[in-house]
A and B are shown apart, each in its own frame.
Chain A
Amino acid sequence: MKGPFLRSPQSTRGLMIQVLIAATPALIAAVVRLGAPAAAMIVSAVAGAVAIEALVHRRQLGDGSAVVSGVIVVLLLPATTPPWLAALAGATAIGLGKAPWGGLGKNPFNPAALARAVLMVVLPAHFFAPMWRWDAVTAASPLSKEVGATAPGWSALILGDVPGCVGQAAPWTIVLGGLILVVLRTIDWRVPLAYLSTIALIAVVLPGGARVAGHAPWLIGDPSIHLFAGGTLIAAFFLLTDPVTAPMSATARVGFAAVAATATMAIRQFTPYPDGAVLAVLVANACTPWFDRVTVERRITPPRAKRSRG
């Protein structure tokens, strides 16, 4: 038997556990702010994801990736989501986002982002109607184009006094979790850095004339809302960093994150959807094979042409 006989301590299962640890502060913040309904959502979504995984890939259950998908999909759901919908989201993540593609490592799109996007289309009432609710107060996302929404300050954005999805309960907990992942080297630090800096750059340089009618005027020239509201931080640290759906080479991942940032800002600027992050993740995921082709696959020398005789 030949070497190497040593192995990095980092295992696939370990990576999943690290993601769960990193998501824990955000989950705690959600339960603190929303109470029992949030806990019910987390349990239902994880149960939905694990149930489908057990049905389809029983032997892969131990790697923990189904639990991760269940937890991340909760972060993307509106605060008013009933438990049955959370369970459906978890089940969709695995049942549509992962299992049909052949299980772990084979899916082209991030399962949680795909589930959230599909349900948003299928059940729009639950995603747009009473929008977001904190402390029994219904309000619009600062990213929404409705008249009447107001511009929050920096502290409100970071501490989470801004309507949004479950993962928005306290944005600083997402940043904390992301830093945990960077320090543990679970994720590539280039991805969140490239994504967030591109978003900030676009927000600053975006010309006022490009905005659509009814667009909240405070979104022009101010990167803070774009960075902290909506799913920006969740996408930066938990969705785009999914190894399965991101390009394989480090340089390609920077371009991939920039594509996601551009798509996020384009959706926010030119469509009626308040938040583009989740859809932008899917757009970037779709570009991954291309990124792999122009970076990693390009390094392959084509087989030598057969020498002709004579």
Chain B
Amino acid sequence: MSKLGERLATLLGLSAPVPTRKYTRDAAIVVLPPPAQVRLALTGLEAVVAAGDEVAAHALVARSVPGARWQRRIHTPLGGRVESIAGAVVVRGAPTSAAAAAVHRDPATLDRDAIVTAARDAGIVGLGGGMFPTYAKLTATHPIDTVLVNGCESEPYFTCDHRVLAEHRDEVECGMALAVRAVGATSSAVIDREDYYPAGYERFVVRDRLGREVPPRHLPRDVGALVLNVQSARALHRAVCLGEPLVSRVITVAGGAIARPGNYQVLIGTAVDEVLAACGADATSAAMIIAGGPMMGHQISAGDTIAAGTGGLLAMTAAEVAARVEQPCIRCGRCVDACPVGLPVPLLIERPGPDVLTCFGCGACQYVCPSAIPLAALMRAASAREIRWD
């Protein structure tokens, strides 16, 4: 849409209410130098190495506990010495350690099992934030006719998937072709519309592209679609064709307290403060560090690490995230108009029903509320109550 058209749409109230601020669209991906150590969280996983072991870069360090429903694997991005395996595998890097030589496999020669096995062994997960094992999506028993690669980065500030598409489209498309082979789909497409928030919600990608509604409590696979994040598709390509496990990702680092906002390739397990320091974060003006987007992300501390699902880091100034005093609801209905799934937000908060489970926490209602009522938090609380009751 043209700038003028966009303005006109905003003026007439036809456009989505949440702005898509993209300051780093043209910032090419910068590879950050490897950190001295990485910290890989062990939630639901058990380490296969012991403290004191020497490991090579890209070596397997943790996997699912026996009997787990899905097989997850974690590989170390750094070669070096295992410092600790308590709660997280901490690997201190040795500069001389090199990764195993890449293999080169022709995707056209691979069958379904080879692709799924490679994805599983490489520990590929959903890099859009869900972190669901990708191999499990590829082995779905439902008939799937369409593979959609989700490049709809509708969160404000976020541009990392856009840059990956701009710079590595061939890799993304190879990953998409592999997914098509794995599930026996007949069509595929890369979707990158960002014209409204939250266009990137999986269900909306399927609806907008295929005209198929994914019913509540169902998944895209139930309507014959497989949705992969851009970077997951790229990781799938790298795992299958190059034998590279999931050890790095591209994130957007932005916010008012960042001197050099941009898109950075970082190793999974890197400490947040190291990434921020490398991007010129001003510790005194950063009032809040957010992992994920400004709409659906969460506040983290500088000591946390980059996870596979961390799409970006935002170091926001106090002015950017200024809290306002909550005021009485004036029934203006902006939240109802803003809700992308059409929920009567204030009524559901008053009397929670099963509908609250349709809410996926996009936060548009809270964004538009002129009375600064924490609607998203209230909806989360209502959902939690409903799930417990259920």
Is B376 interfacial (CB-CB < 8 Å)? Answer: yes
Is B297 interfacial (CB-CB < 8 Å)? Answer: yes
Interface pair B294/A5, CB less than 8 Å apart: yes
Name A1's closest neighbour in chain B (CB-CB): B299
**A250-B333 in contact given A4-B363, A299-B342 (Cβ < 8 Å):** yes
Question: Contact flags (1/0) for A1-37 with B, using CB distance below 8 Å?
Answer: 1111111101111110000000000000000000000
Which chain A positions have C-beta within 8 A of B17? 8
Interface pair B371/A4, CB less than 8 Å apart: no
Is B343 interfacial (CB-CB < 8 Å)? Answer: yes
Min C-beta distance of B143 to chain A, whole Å:
29
What is the total number of residues of chain B having a CB less than 8 Å from a CB of chain A?
55
Considering the complex, which residues of chain A in the window 122-158 have a beta carbon less than 8 Å from any beta carbon of chain B? none
Interface pair B372/A11, CB less than 8 Å apart: yes
Interface pair A243/B297, CB less than 8 Å apart: no
Which chain A positions have C-beta within 8 A of B322? 7
Question: Contact flags (1/0) for B365-378 with A, using CB distance below 8 Å?
Answer: 01111111000110
Min C-beta distance of B129 to chain A, whole Å:
12
**A3-B298 in contact given A14-B370, A300-B344 (Cβ < 8 Å):** yes
Is B4 interfacial (CB-CB < 8 Å)? Answer: no
Interface pair B331/A243, CB less than 8 Å apart: yes
Interface pair B367/A7, CB less than 8 Å apart: yes
Min C-beta distance of B12 to chain A, whole Å:
7
Question: Contact flags (1/0) for A99-125 with B, using CB distance below 8 Å?
Answer: 000011110000000000000000000
Is A53 interfacial (CB-CB < 8 Å)? Answer: no
Which chain A positions have C-beta within 8 A of B329? 105
Which chain A positions have C-beta within 8 A of B337? 249-250
Interface pair A249/B327, CB less than 8 Å apart: no
Is B74 interfacial (CB-CB < 8 Å)? Answer: no
**A7-B342 in contact given A1-B298, A103-B328, A105-B329 (Cβ < 8 Å):** no
Interface segment among A82-90, A182-190, A199-207, A232-240: the answer is A182-190
Question: Contact flags (1/0) for B294-337 with A, using CB distance below 8 Å?
Answer: 11111100000000000000101000111010011111111011
Can you pick out 5 interface pairs between chain A and chain B where the beta carbons lie within 8 Å of each other?
A: A7-B322, A243-B332, A301-B353, A302-B353, A303-B354
A interface residues, Cβ below 8 angstroms from B = 1-8, 10-15, 60, 63, 103-106, 183, 185, 188-189, 243-244, 246-250, 253, 296-297, 299-304
